[in-house]
Amino acid sequence: MKKRLSVLFYLGFILSLPSIAQEKINWMTFEEASLATQNSPKMILVDVYTDWCGWCKKMDKETFTDEDVIAYVNENFYAVKLHAEREEQKFTFKGKEYSEASMAKTMRVTSYPNFVIMDATMENITQLPGFRQPKPFIEGLEGIVKRFTK
């Protein structure tokens, strides 16, 4: 009897693992966010990063894994990862062709990490440059959302 209960408990635990797994930010490509905001308008958060940027990696590891950050970003933004040095993939935006690198230049990003905030019409509103801990990151985003969605 004890063995059966142990097996059932273990099986229940294993089956519940996906629900225990931490949520993640729903990262999109620039094209996916552009299409999504046409169907359901929302602000866009563009994480402009590079592979060599230590602060970018720290942001991914510490801030973008925080459950409050994940919930806030997923609720209020379409989140985009944009590699500031990648030239290979091309996409069309507002009638022009861009690579991720040329889009970062167009957005006037000169330091990393940098978070470009766009409104639902895909117009740049502001930038939040530099590494941020979870709480200050959410506070910065909240201020922008309040200021631009009234």
Is a pLDDT exceeding 60 seen at residue 15? Answer: no
Q: What pTM was estimated for this model as a whole? A: 0.82
d(CA 138, CA 69): 6
The whole-number pLDDT of residue 81 equals 96
Range in 1-10, 56-65, 66-75, 139-148 with the lowest mean pLDDT: 1-10
Is residue 138 pLDDT above 60, yes or no? yes
- pLDDT tens readout for residues 16-29: 444 444 589 999 99
**Structure confidence at residue 3 (pLDDT):** 55
The CATH class of the 22-148 domain is alpha beta
